[in-house]
Amino acid sequence: MRQIHVVLSLRSTLLTEKVATRLTAVPWARPGAPADVSVVDETGAAGPRTVAVLSSPDAVEGLVRIGVTGLVLADDPVEDVVRAIHDVHRFGGWISPRLVPSLLPGPPPASLTSRERETLRMLAEGWENAEIAAAMFITVSAVKYHVSNLLRKFGCRDRTQLVSRLGRPLLVRS
């Protein structure tokens, strides 16, 4: 198997030592620069072939957006960091199983009315308030009322955040 050169840039010397010790035990990994894979703290993460070590799941979405392809939590077992290094190099990506729920959209609240579900479906498809009102044979202010209820129930500040939190329009079909 081809050697993978790894650069560790972590604030925690204890974690750096643990990972480095574990890496020396596997035949495919060697410390080196230039690196095939970089292991960095979440604040220094950027781009592909980077394994970001996160202190909490809060930064996952932003790191995925900037192209980070490996995500582990700082308190994951060292074996997970080593596996992330291997899989980022060999297969292009790896994510800690504990971080997967933070990337998946949650289901809609069970307490949605049929009108709210219909409004949500149309919002997810990009409809404007006036278009929704015409299709549902209600006033624009009634649509705004439904949208406000949806924002409150999903804990979102605006329609864009609401639609992005849904992930897929299929989740809102009746």
pLDDT digits (tens, 9 = 90+) for 70-80: 999 999 999 99
Residue 24 C-beta-side C-alpha neighbours within 13 Å:
5
Distance CA 17, CA 5 (A): 16
Q: Is 86 helix (H, G, I), strand (E, B) or coil?
A: helix
Question: How sure is the predictor about 172, in pLDDT bands with cuts at 50, 70 and 90?
Answer: very low
For residue 47, is pLDDT > 80? no
pLDDT at 17: 92
How confident is the model over 114-131, as pLDDT tens digits? 999 999 999 988 899 999
Question: How sure is the predictor about 167, in pLDDT bands with cuts at 50, 70 and 90?
Answer: low
Residue whose C-alpha is closest to residue 49's, from 59, 34, 62:
34
